[in-house]
Chains A and B, each alone.
Chain A
Amino acid sequence: MATSPFALIKFRLYFVGAWVVWALLHAAVLHWFKLSVETALLDSLVSNALLAGACWFISSNLQYYQPDQARLLYFGIWCLLLSGLWLLVLEYVLPLIIENDPAYEIFLNNSLPVRFGIAFLTIGWMVMLSVLWYSQQDQKQSEQRQADAEKLAREAELFKLRQQLQPHFLFNSLNSVNALIGSRPQEARRMVLQLSDFLRGTLKREEHQWVTLTEELEHLRLYLEIEKVRFGHRLATEIIADEECGNMRLPSMLLQPLVENAIKFGLYDTTDEVIIRLQAYCQPDLLEISVQNPYDAHTAQPRQGTGFGLSGVQRRLYLLFARTDLLQTFADNTTYTTLVKIPQLP
């Protein structure tokens, strides 16, 4: 719900200041009409105190209810009613306070229409101010809600993107373990441990958005060890990273889908031995990582939009950096290169 403008200290100060000026003006005008200073001040004090009360009342009420239709009519009726009530009270109360002054009573009676007009305008002005205030607050709140909702959706999507563990990978690895148990139990044990380390690392990473290059490469090596057991001598990997890049940060689990993609297409496009090459370079505010796999331009299936790997990475980079140019691919006749750039946020 919107807060009343009276909840703000600043507004209260303005309101009191304006009230004092207004009351003094009122008294001065009365004095000009030959009323004594004392009478003029008393009259001003009472009528303006009541008027301020009416203003506060209507403003607070608008906080709870603002009509959508027939606004003007509704507000007009409220202003008329409040001004009329104010005038009635004034007509009854003022003679009680300023006693035994027949000239004043005549003046009061004569000035009633003018007083009514001024009260109507004052209250109307207060209504206008409040309506503006509340609608602005409503708008701010709905903007905030929308921004919150978008942020939540973005975080949920990022979480999901980080979580893309391929069930294929898991089941095929378990199948390899199953095969090793019979023939090479020691290796089976090693693979179970590697797989556990990898899965544990994956679960941990799902909670964190950013990791250092060193951490990410460590995790990637575990993954590659498992893949090497699965594909045997056919898969070889090479990781080259400048030492000074080690502390640069990147979104966690970003490289694995790229490497997985490279392995998949490298192995599935060619039947020879496959070398997957990962290189990391850094500039002061940019980390660049390229992943290369051998590729046969004649038999390779077109890779645009193939598989989840690249499009998921693209989407993540967009959500994090609002840029679409951070992931690029190049192909010549024998090598396919995926290049990813990660700006270093301060």
Chain B
Amino acid sequence: MKAILIDDEPLARSLVREYLAAFPQIEIVQECNDGFEGLKAVTQHQPDLIFLDVQMPKINGFEMLELLDQPPAVIFTTAFDEFAIKAFDAHAIDYLLKPFSQERFNKAVEKWQQQKDQAELIKNTQALLQTTAAAPDRQDRIVVKIGTKIRIIPEPDILYLEADDDYIKVYTPDGAFLKSKTMGYFENSLDPKKFIRVHRSYMLQISQITRIEPYEKDSHIAILKNGAKVPVSRSGYAKLKQVLGL
């Protein structure tokens, strides 16, 4: 069985490697320093299991998993992070709190081995990802994948979001990017002081608005700095008025 270690601290990786010696059937195919490397390695090797740190360079562990089409089974290794721990507990995914012992490590690996239904495990990981966005320091950007390239969209570059079937289109000055998330997810993860859901299918960044004009009966449209027009429903208009102090 193949495993990949992803952690930005070499010593933390060497510890996992040492503990993993107790499981000769598991082979470490690669060690990675950050989420980018991890993404590449996972796509290339299709491992059965990854050990993943949350706080890492470039993109963090959650963001990396989001970008994988088929995430493998994951055991998280992390220092104290109250938010993440709540999320893990809720989705019955195993996590190792640094520093951890060989015994605790063995338990996590055995738990994974006994898990008959690997599909169930992966479903749990995906459920976890739907809730982890609201971690305090992870909400000021959106990470998207275009083909094999990764793009980080910083908060100021987000014009508006549009719901499109199972996807959300993230509009930026450089075009639109797809992200497989729900509108509710972004409502929770983006800063509510800056972003407002003005319509069932639209959410916009308040600072991007230049004008709001009436449009048909009972509804309005918001015109953004780049000229884009975003529909505003009646309840959305009420919210906007409140935020803008009209």
For residue A176, CB closer than 8 A to chain B, the reply is: yes
B12–A306 contact, CB under 8 A? no
Chain A residues, Cβ within 8 Å of B97: 171
User: Digit string of A228-270 for contact with B (CB within 8 Å is 1, else 0)?
Assistant: 0111100000000000000000000000000000000001111
B80 adjacent to chain A (CB < 8 Å): yes
CB distance from B41 to the nearest CB of A (A): 14
A229 and B11 contact, CB distance less than 8 A: yes
A183-B14, A307-B137 in contact; A177/B99 too (CB < 8 A)?
A: yes
Per-position binary interface string of chain B over residues 7-39, scored 1 when its CB falls under 8 Å from any chain A CB and 0 otherwise: 011111011001000000000000001101100
Q: Which residue numbers of B lie inside 8 Å of A, CB to CB?
A: 8-12, 14-15, 18, 33-34, 36-37, 55-58, 79-81, 97-100, 137, 140-141, 152, 154-156
- Which residues in window 164-202 of A have CB below 8 A to B? 167-168, 171-172, 174-180, 182-183
Instruction: Return A248 CB to nearest CB of chain B, in Å.
Output: 33
Interface size for A (C-beta < 8 A) is 27
Q: Which residue, of A178, A231, A307, has the highest number of chain B Cβ atoms within 10 A?
A: A178
| Pair A301/B154 contact, Cβ less than 8 Å | yes
Q: Say whether B18 contacts A301, CB under 8 Å.
A: no
How many Å lie between the Cα of A307 and that of B11 in the bound state? 25
Which residues from B are CB-within-8-Å of A175? Answer: 9, 11-12, 15, 79, 98-100
Residues of A with Cβ closer than 8 Å to B? 167-168, 171-172, 174-180, 182-183, 229-232, 267-271, 299, 301-302, 306-307
Min CB gap A266→B, angstroms: 9
From A182, A267, A269, A306, contact of B18 by CB (8 A): A182
Query: Is B140 in contact with A301, judged by CB distance below 8 angstroms?
Result: yes
Nearest CB in chain A: distance from B226 CB, A: 19
If A179-B18, A271-B33, A302-B156 touch, whether A172 touches B12 (CB-CB below 8 Å) is yes
Query: What CA separation (Å) do A258 and B119 show in the bound complex?
Result: 45
Pick from B11, B34, B36, B58 the residue with the most CB of A within 10 Å: B11
Nearest-CB residue, chain A, relative to B34: A271
Report if A179-B12 is in contact (Cβ < 8 Å); known contacts: A168-B55, A171-B99.
Answer: yes
Residue of A with least CB distance to B153: A301
A55 to B97, CA, bound (A): 77
In the bound assembly, the distance between CA atoms of A50 and B230 in angstroms comes to 87
> Known: A268-B56, A269-B57, A271-B37. Is A171-B79 also a contact (CB below 8 A)?
yes
- Given the contacts A268-B58, A270-B57, A271-B58, A171 and B14 also touching, CB distance less than 8 Å: no
